[in-house]
Chain A
């Protein structure tokens, strides 16, 4: 669906650049695009949407060069990109008129978007009076008016309550099931892990890691332990040890055995010698957060 080859771009007087970036998104995929702030995600999205012109490289969208106004692509920015002094329905009517010249197609698109995002009851209320969750729904509904083949969502669940988040994620899943390819950027890694089938990690304008979610998480050389206290300082000082969670009774730690250069048995022995007996042991499945942090740490080490 989307093929990016050797993409480079730079803003004058700014440190963020895309440097020979390559990324492929298969038709029907949900790709989680991860990266710290300033990694170049927004720049990449702007280039895909045709808002910026690349200095080098190519972007093919559905087999043709990406350009501004391509019908196959819809963008959902993190901001509420609609008019707060218009009702939900008026917003949809306006954006539908921008996307479609045929009045019948326009009406049908609006009805479909309202139905898919559950905006029906509040469609005649001013958007300014919507809750955060409904504003997010409207933000997505506007993108659906185009019936896009590729939908780019930039943190679509930021600042919404758990109930609205569940609904929005459900909307995204249904869209994907109906054949829409999705690029999903978020800082909520649990959400990405739960939703996406593939993931790409980027930093400083480069893709550090890209692959299928299951195979990335299924690396065998990882040990998750629930410990009564922190591991010894000698272990903590090494790369590949990540604290996952903490409760009054236990701390959850993830140990990347490849990076530590030891086996699971050796690690457990070291802990035993330090007087720490694990409460719970889980082997063979990493969390996305660990994959993400490890990729960034390796990049930092490389630089």
Chain B
């Protein structure tokens, strides 16, 4: 036991004196979280049900007591849309306003069935806007029109707007279920996605400093010296891995702090930490186990530091691309979504999202945690087996 404690103490000292390594492990994922959360904020708003911004124009708007004005008022109540009066020459752009609703001069007449019905509203979109968003906007405008028209019919029949909504539109007929009833369908916002995603990436990135250290010690015969002093290879590895587990937990603390405290200052949504902290630590430790197992394997199979650096870096990027770190899984096509489960980063991210987005507890992350720990154990065992084999065969 004293050997293990001494090894942990030694490894911690070495880590604290390796400023380059610490920068890679803490600053890099922190920067990724900041940059990606802010950069993808708009995209996630589109994908995740946030309001779509558009212009409103038309010469009828200033005339009071017209149906056009009533239509505009109803349009402003639409939860999916955020509209603003257009200035002359206002451009459509994905970075700001994505669509334009133009109320034509003959809106009231068209609504009353006088003349061409196509003279009511014109809808135009920014060229970059996706088909899903176009359909969503069109549906919102159509719904507004239906509500206005139904209200007018109801009023003609002597009923009020509330009656029209309740009995004619049946607005309460469809219930959207959120939370426990429909957990898997809940989508994260930019911060909820990017904080755990780049945390996981940072955790797996320890394979670079870890494997470098192991290979250095192997080349310098320090590992051999420890073995001749009677220290088993498994204990040598354990003494090295445990400080890295602590590093992974410190990464968790830093990334959560950035998500909860720093990102709101930059205009992003704050990461809510009103979640199961135990579940969060559980999935973090499990992710760390898988990352450390992978790091051990990279160290065991690589002969040189250069090989280990390339293998670690490339594998992290591939795991991240496949596992929904760089591109969220919910925007991937179905085949890629299925393939993403090949990456342990996907298992980890799914676990983090279960806690941070869907409010799950330990039970919600149990399977993912088990898979990650099992993988970590398997990889670490393989690493020790390969190290022993190479000792006798190389």
**For the complex, what is the distance from the CA of A12 to the CA of B5, rounded to whole Å?**
37
Answer whether residue B219 sits at the interface, using C-beta atoms and an 8 A cutoff. Answer: yes
Q: Is the CB of A95 within 8 A of B229?
A: yes
CB distance from A233 to the nearest CB of B (A): 46
CB distance from A82 to the nearest CB of B (A): 6
Q: Is the CB of A75 within 8 A of B6?
A: no
Q: Is the CB of B2 within 8 A of A97?
A: yes
CB distance from A59 to the nearest CB of B (A): 14
A68 and B220 contact, Cβ closer than 8 Å, known pairs A11-B394, A52-B391, A101-B2: no
A99 contacts across to B, CB distance below 8 A: 229-230
Instruction: Report which of B5, B17, B220, B392 forms a contact with A85, defined as CB distance below 8 A.
Output: B17
Q: Is the CB of B3 within 8 A of A98?
A: yes
Residues of B in contact (CB 8 Å), total 27
Answer whether residue A90 sits at the interface, using C-beta atoms and an 8 A cutoff. Answer: yes
Q: Is the CB of B220 within 8 A of A81?
A: yes
Instruction: Report which of B13, B17, B220, B229 forms a contact with A98, defined as CB distance below 8 A.
Output: B229
**For the complex, what is the distance from the CA of A75 to the CA of B221, rounded to whole Å?**
10
B304 contacts across to A, CB distance below 8 A: none
Q: Is the CB of B394 within 8 A of A75?
A: no
Q: Is the CB of B393 within 8 A of A11?
A: yes
A81 and B224 contact, Cβ closer than 8 Å, known pairs A12-B393, A68-B230: yes
The interface residues of chain A, by DSSP majority, are classed as: loop
What string of 1s and 0s marks CB contacts (under 8 Å) between B204-240 and chain A? 0000000000000001111011111111000000000
Answer whether residue A274 sits at the interface, using C-beta atoms and an 8 A cutoff. Answer: no
Answer whether residue B18 sits at the interface, using C-beta atoms and an 8 A cutoff. Answer: yes
**For the complex, what is the distance from the CA of A53 to the CA of B391, rounded to whole Å?**
10
Answer whether residue B336 sits at the interface, using C-beta atoms and an 8 A cutoff. Answer: no
Q: Is the CB of B229 within 8 A of A51?
A: no
Instruction: Report which of B3, B228, B392 forms a contact with A75, defined as CB distance below 8 A.
Output: B228
B394 contacts across to A, CB distance below 8 A: 11
Whose C-beta in chain B lies nearest to the C-beta of A142? B225
- Pick from B228, B231, B394 the residue with the most CB of A within 10 Å: B228
What string of 1s and 0s marks CB contacts (under 8 Å) between B366-394 and chain A? 00000000000000000000000001111
Q: Is the CB of B222 within 8 A of A81?
A: yes
**For the complex, what is the distance from the CA of A237 to the CA of B222, rounded to whole Å?**
47
A68 and B227 contact, Cβ closer than 8 Å, known pairs A12-B393, A85-B14: yes
B17 contacts across to A, CB distance below 8 A: 85
A97 contacts across to B, CB distance below 8 A: 2-3, 5-6
Instruction: Report which of B13, B224, B226 forms a contact with A90, defined as CB distance below 8 A.
Output: B13
**For the complex, what is the distance from the CA of A71 to the CA of B228, rounded to whole Å?**
9
- Pick from B13, B17, B230, B391 the residue with the most CB of A within 10 Å: B230
CB distance from A97 to the nearest CB of B (A): 3
B219 contacts across to A, CB distance below 8 A: 79
B393 contacts across to A, CB distance below 8 A: 11-12
**For the complex, what is the distance from the CA of A1 to the CA of B124, rounded to whole Å?**
94
CB distance from A54 to the nearest CB of B (A): 11
**For the complex, what is the distance from the CA of A93 to the CA of B228, rounded to whole Å?**
17
Which 5 pairs show the lowest CB-CB distances between chains A and B? A69-B230, A97-B6, A77-B221, A81-B221, A81-B225
Residues on B close to A: CB < 8 A? Answer: 2-3, 5-7, 9-10, 13-14, 17-18, 219-222, 224-231, 391-394
23 intermolecular pairs with C-beta atoms under 8 Å apart: A12-B393, A46-B224, A49-B228, A50-B228, A51-B391, A52-B392, A69-B228, A69-B229, A69-B231, A77-B224, A79-B219, A81-B222, A82-B220, A83-B10, A85-B13, A85-B17, A86-B13, A90-B13, A94-B6, A94-B9, A98-B226, A101-B2, A142-B225
Residues on A close to B: CB < 8 A? Answer: 11-12, 46, 49-53, 68-71, 73-75, 77-83, 85-86, 90, 93-95, 97-99, 101, 142, 146
Extra 16 A-B pairs, beta carbons < 8 Å, given A46-B224, A82-B220, A98-B6: A49-B228, A51-B228, A51-B391, A52-B392, A68-B230, A81-B220, A81-B221, A85-B17, A85-B18, A86-B10, A86-B13, A94-B7, A94-B9, A97-B5, A99-B230, A101-B3
